[in-house]
Amino acid sequence: MCSRTKPHRSRTGRPRSTEADTAILEATRAALVELGWSKLTMGDVAGRAGVAKTTLYRRWANKNELVVDAVAVLFDELELPDLGSLQADIEHVVLQFAALLERPETKTALMAVVAESTRDEPLRERIRASIVDRQKRLVLAGRERAQQRGELPHHFDPVAVDATDDLIFDVVAGAVVHRALVSAEPVDAPWATRLSALLMGGLGAAATAGG
């Protein structure tokens, strides 16, 4: 994924500083931690990064796109180790995602850019590509692994499979976000267990009925 506004494959002229890139993204995260999304300013980020404002705008069209890219990289840490059972995998991913949401830079930024994206189609697309897809692949991987283990039946209707993947994704991610940010309650191991148990029951019932 290229963080720049344009690919810029020009062969001549001074090349862009890659140190500037990383310094800006780090400065953005630091500013998010200290100030939160709404108090973060481009001038402040530039100052922290030791860079001119122009250098920011040469790379990102506006504050929201910068913030998305600054936060997106954090989602790379999400992974799905094989813990032996679907329920264990779900619990693990729930706690991982919750830990990410507890970090001040994501807590303040994620909802804000999503809110902005309701009126900004390019931003929504960037969020989807940078963040949402990174999470969604965990659902796919977990489901496939569960099928291989025999915990879930091998469906032959790909549409139904996709629909269930989507549903599980919205339920898991939505529930964690809602618990963490709206209800403002801790997403801890007991809660993760209760959530995954609920899902396991629901999936089991569906498998029994529809399988």
Rule CB under 8 A: which residues touch its own copies? 36-39, 107-112, 114-119, 124, 127-128, 132, 163-164, 166-167, 169-171, 173-179, 181-185, 191, 194-195, 197-206, 209
Beta carbon nearer to its own copies, 18 or 38: 38
Q: Which one of DNA, its own copies, none interacts with residue 76, CB within 5 to 8 A by kind?
A: none
DSSP 137-180: HHHHHHHHHHHHHTSS---S-HHHHHHHHHHHHHHHHHHHHIII
Helices (H), the chain: 18-35, 42-49, 53-59, 63-72, 86-102, 104-117, 121-127, 133-149, 158-177, 189-210
Q: Which one of its own copies, DNA, none interacts with residue 130, CB within 5 to 8 A by kind?
A: none
Radius of gyration of the chain (CA): 20
Give the separation between CA 100 and CA 72, rounded to whole angstroms.
11
Closest CA to 202 of 147, 170, 164: 164
**CB of 103 vs DNA, minimal distance in Å:** 21
**CB of 47 vs DNA, minimal distance in Å:** 8
For the record, the structure tokens of 54 come out as 């122009």
C-beta of residue 88 within 8 angstroms of C-beta of residue 34 = no
Q: Which one of DNA, its own copies, none interacts with residue 2, CB within 5 to 8 A by kind?
A: none
Q: Which one of its own copies, DNA, none interacts with residue 88, CB within 5 to 8 A by kind?
A: none
**CB of 115 vs DNA, minimal distance in Å:** 15
**CB of 161 vs its own copies, minimal distance in Å:** 13
Q: Which one of DNA, its own copies, none interacts with residue 14, CB within 5 to 8 A by kind?
A: DNA
Q: What residue ranges bind DNA (CB under 7 A)?
A: 8, 10-17, 20, 39-44, 50-55, 57-59, 62-63
Amino acid identity, position 139: V
Interior angle at CA 142, CA 140 and CA 146, nearest 5 = 115
Beta carbon nearer to its own copies, 82 or 205: 205
C-beta of residue 113 within 8 angstroms of C-beta of residue 66 = no
Beta carbon nearer to DNA, 24 or 192: 24
**CB of 146 vs its own copies, minimal distance in Å:** 15
